[in-house]
Structure 1
Amino acid sequence: MSDRPTAGLPDQSGRTWVITGANSGLGAEIARAAAAAGADVTLACRNLDKAERVAGRIGASARVAHLDLADLGSVRDFAAGVEPFDVLVNNAGVMALPHRRTADGFEMQMGTNHLGHFALTGLLLPRVRERIVIMSSLAQNWGRIHADDLNWERRRYNRWAAYGDSKLANTVFGRELARRLTQSGSPVRAVLAHPGYTSTGLMGQSETPVDYLMKAGAMLRVGQPAAQGALPALFAATADVPNGSYWGPNRVLRGTPSRARYRAAADDQRVRDRLWSASEELTGVTFDV
């Protein structure tokens, strides 16, 4: 995928991937493509019935394991059963939900999209051999990091602002993880990606007027199918790209993988440090980097 990312992945024979949220949409396409290139894939999912159907279509190289990122107990149970592997793809997510709380009392979007993945990555890091891919979103462009109120306890809740905050947190976390990996001399790389405007099951479920815009976008084919939206993450997972780099569609909303722009906040060390400290405190997970 170095110069023609749509032509297929490099040979993944003998390598193992763990992909969160692989029961549908982008995660399912990432799992399918990795397995088609020869990898063994673990579909780490909350909905086991859907995950089993995806695994059945992939074949013997796919296995399913239960993971609910909105429950740190589930995250720890999953991590305890994982053997050393090559690629972790932090793909699972929720979008624009009504105000809800995780099993641990976190705001659901921050808890699932960022804090769950933060804890998972920290617990699995000693067993990752090569690459961590963190899926962000164009929504990071309207997010803010309120490190002293990640869980919307002092602010009036807004579902779209909460989603943007969680995706900016993904970007900030990925950039800081890459810095710490480099500083510690680790061979593991943390690389970020976003899928542009991709039609998945997340779209049109917010119960707000934005749903109509998303449906219109899908009808007018402004976006792209999930198989195309998965390409930046697949590129980030397999190409020889810099640690901490960010990849998305070359035409922003759709297209083939190219370097993408992210918010300046993701390179503000004060923002990074405050988010990292708050995430450690909330999850109880620290990183060995």
Structure 2
Amino acid sequence: MGGWNTSNIPDLTGKTYIVTGATSGLGASTARGLAEAGAMVIMACRNEIKAHEVAKTIRGKTQIRVLDLADLASVRAFADTVDHAHGLINNAGVMAVPYGHTADGFETQIGTNFLGHFALTGLLLDRISERVVNVSSITHYIGRIDLEDLNWERRAYSRFGAYAQTKLAVLMFTYELQRRLLAAGSAKLALAAHPGYAATEINSKTQNLLEQIIDLGNRLIAQNADMGALPTLFAATAPEAEPAGYYGPAHFNWSGHPVRVSSNAASHDEKVAAQLWELAERFTGVDFTVHPD
């Protein structure tokens, strides 16, 4: 018996979705699924040329707008172009890159994967009418939030440790956002998704010998990006998706059609989540106040 797939996406005619990082992999597949169901998809991408190439392959309505999540000035400029959207899909990210900094001085991965999306969501939330979906990863299980050293200035840098921290932060942000939406009396939903093990370009940027191992895994055992995007599409569109729901592949969090999945205990730590929220507000300069609808 088949599971949930793009044929189950409801008619999205008249709706608008923002997808960050829609130039390849999961983002491109997510944009395609939404557009082909009738939505207008705003492809928020750093590389305009690549975005136009992807847009040509999508049967549906798309717009391309520049967004560099590693630069808060770019995040603010992009947010200024948005009047309204039904859904925001925070998909873009970098994985296990060498130590570096964003334009604002944050460690590259936390700055791009978490702080950039936190700022974007805070700036746009009053203009998003239905759902915010954050893309996490099974690597969140090994993540640890260090509130005293979020930017790896004192710790010995670990590429995968830094990546895992961002994906745990994304989940904690999702759950905290849903708590605040509920407290404010808002009907909007905050949800999260992960692709399992999907072969995408994010897995080819580690710049070391590990690339060869990952490339072999991509060819032998990974599911494709279209399958990896299904949990995100479910979270973004399925009527049965639940507040603070976390969705991933059915087969051991690895592959298959989307189902609701669990996350680790750390992701549900409300005290740390509130502290992380306050820290992100301070770092980004975004006063993220959740208002009632």
Q: TM-score, with normalisation over the residues of structure 1?
A: 0.96
**C-alpha separation in 1, matches of 2:162 and 2:272:** 17
Is the aligned partner of 1:261 residue 2:245?
no
Higher deviation after alignment, 151-160 or 227-236 = 151-160
**C-alpha separation in 1, matches of 2:205 and 2:16:** 33
TM superposition outliers: structure 1 runs of 4+ over 6 Å: none
Aligned alpha-carbon RMSD (Å): 1.4
- Contact 2:32–2:59 (8 Å) recurs in 1: no
3-state SS, counterpart of residue 166 of structure 1: helix
Higher deviation after alignment, 116-125 or 52-61 = 52-61
> Cα distance 1:58–1:5, how it changes in 2: closer, same or farther (>3 A)?
closer
**C-alpha separation in 1, matches of 2:280 and 2:191:** 19
- Contact 1:79–1:124 (8 Å) recurs in 2: yes
Match of 1:122 in 2: 122
Offset at residue 6 of structure 1 (A): 4.7
Q: Partner amino acid for 2:65? A: A
**C-alpha separation in 2, matches of 1:81 and 1:167:** 27
- Contact 2:23–2:45 (8 Å) recurs in 1: yes
Structure 2 stretches lacking a partner, 5+ long: none
**C-alpha separation in 1, matches of 2:142 and 2:60:** 41
Q: Partner amino acid for 1:262? A: S
Match of 1:230 in 2: 229
Q: Partner amino acid for 1:272? A: A
**C-alpha separation in 1, matches of 2:227 and 2:125:** 28
Identical-pair percentage: 49
- 1:164-175 to structure 2, matched below 5 A, reads 164-175=164-175
Is the aligned partner of 1:282 residue 2:283?
yes
Match of 1:99 in 2: 99
**C-alpha separation in 2, matches of 1:172 and 1:56:** 36
**C-alpha separation in 1, matches of 2:34 and 2:152:** 37
**C-alpha separation in 2, matches of 1:247 and 1:95:** 20
**C-alpha separation in 2, matches of 1:34 and 1:60:** 9
**C-alpha separation in 2, matches of 1:271 and 1:264:** 12
> Cα distance 1:219–1:61, how it changes in 2: closer, same or farther (>3 A)?
closer
Offset at residue 214 of structure 1 (A): 1.5
Match of 1:179 in 2: 179
- 1:1-289 to structure 2, matched below 5 A, reads 4-58=4-58, 61-220=61-220, 222-239=221-238, 240-251=240-251, 252-289=253-290
**C-alpha separation in 2, matches of 1:213 and 1:225:** 17
Offset at residue 209 of structure 1 (A): 4.0
- Contact 1:18–1:87 (8 Å) recurs in 2: yes
3-state SS, counterpart of residue 92 of structure 1: coil
1:88-141 per-residue CA deviation (whole Å, 9 max, x = no partner) reads 000000001101100000000000000000000000001000000000011111
Q: TM-score, with normalisation over the residues of structure 2?
A: 0.95
How many residue pairs get matched? 287
**C-alpha separation in 1, matches of 2:17 and 2:266:** 30
- Contact 2:70–2:103 (8 Å) recurs in 1: yes
3-state SS, counterpart of residue 65 of structure 2: strand
Structure 1 stretches lacking a partner, 5+ long: none
Offset at residue 223 of structure 1 (A): 1.4
